[in-house]
Amino acid sequence: MTTNERRVLVHPNKQALAASVAARFLTKVVDVIAEHGDAHVVLTGGTIGIGTLAAANESPARDTVDWSKVHFWWGDERFVPKADADRNELQARQALLDHIAVPAENIHAFAASDEVGSLEEGVAAYTAELARFSPDGGQWPRFDITFLGVGPDGHIASLFPNLAGIRVTDAPVVAVRNSPKPPPERLSLTRPVINSSERVWLVLAGADKASALGLALAGASYVEVPAAGAKGRRRTVFFVDEDAAAEVPEELIAESY
């Protein structure tokens, strides 16, 4: 396989999936820090995304990582109050971030609805935060790993099929007002930012994801199936359980990373 070809790694169940991805994540972060001196990771929400963080927290390898050199970002966020249980940030803190020695200034959360007055202010704030950590002349940091969940409709982050956000290429962050999945108001990175990541890891489980995964791998339009448009610069890996892999052609399933 070429370095940027997509790979599908199948695991027997959700628990094995979360544990395997967590182990790879911890190992890769150590490698990235050794290479670059720090690491920038984009997190996702959802049951399996948060489950992966919880599995990382429970791993004996958790403390092999120098967390002071890791920066955490998010692919999207629900525009709700800071303490709302729906926030991806809150769930990630409970699963992993509150349990590791990561400096507060290394956690780059989207603004909550009780922190800024509007979605536009939230877009501006995250755009500025991305730029603050970007290389000279850039708009966003060097992302090493971007985690993505995939919805049954094929959405990634808060980029939904056939809505305006998936088409945006001239801004790093977009406001979402009409999400078909509640809550309706969200903030999201755009596809160019996601695809700038060295590695894009899509983690999905369940039979309800099988159709979206099959379409994404079959070359569907990314406007209609946003997951089809997710591609890392070096690696694009779909980590899935057997239920989600039901419609994946055998020849696309990799034996190893």
Helices (H) and strands (E) in the chain, counts: 6, 9
Let me know: does 158 contact 194? Beta carbons within 8 Å: no
Over residues 214-232, the mean pLDDT reads: 96
pTM given for the model: 0.96
Contact at 8 Å (CB) between 43 and 74? yes
User: How far is residue 167's CA from residue 178's CA, in Å, rounded to a whole number?
Assistant: 15
Which residue from 115, 92, 6 is spatially nearest to 45, judged by alpha carbons? 92
Can you give the pLDDT at residue 251? 84
Band (pLDDT 50/70/90 cuts) for residue 257 is low
Q: Please determine, for residue 126, whether its predicted confidence score (pLDDT) is greater than 90.
A: yes
Q: What is the pLDDT of residue 2?
A: 44
pLDDT > 70 in the chain, percent: 98
Confidence class for position 255, pLDDT limits 50, 70, 90: confident
pLDDT band for position 250 (cuts 50, 70, 90):
confident
> pLDDT tens digits, residue range 165-208?
999 999 999 999 999 999 999 999 999 999 999 999 999 999 99
C-alpha distances in Å from residue 227, one per residue of 8, 66, 223 = 13, 32, 9
Q: What is the largest CA-CA distance in the chain?
A: 50
State yes or no: pLDDT of 105 exceeds 60. Answer: yes
The predicted model gives 66-79 an average pLDDT of: 98
- The H or E element spanning position 3 is none
Share of the chain above pLDDT 90, in %: 92
Confidence at residue 4, expressed as pLDDT on a 0 to 100 scale: 61
3-class secondary-structure state, position 195: coil
Q: How far apart are CA 114 and CA 81, in angstroms?
A: 5
Query: What are the structural domains, with CATH classification, of the chain?
Result: 6-251 (3.40.50.1360)
Q: Averaged over 144-163, what is the pLDDT? A: 98
What is the chain's Cα-based Rg? Answer: 17
Res 137: pLDDT = 81
Contact 158, 186 (CB under 8 A): yes
Output the six-digit token pair for 118: 């509007």
Mean pLDDT over the full length of the chain: 95
Q: What angle do CA 119, 122, 127 make, to 5 degrees?
A: 130
The answer to whether 140 and 146 have CB atoms below 8 angstroms apart is no
What pLDDT does 1 receive?
40
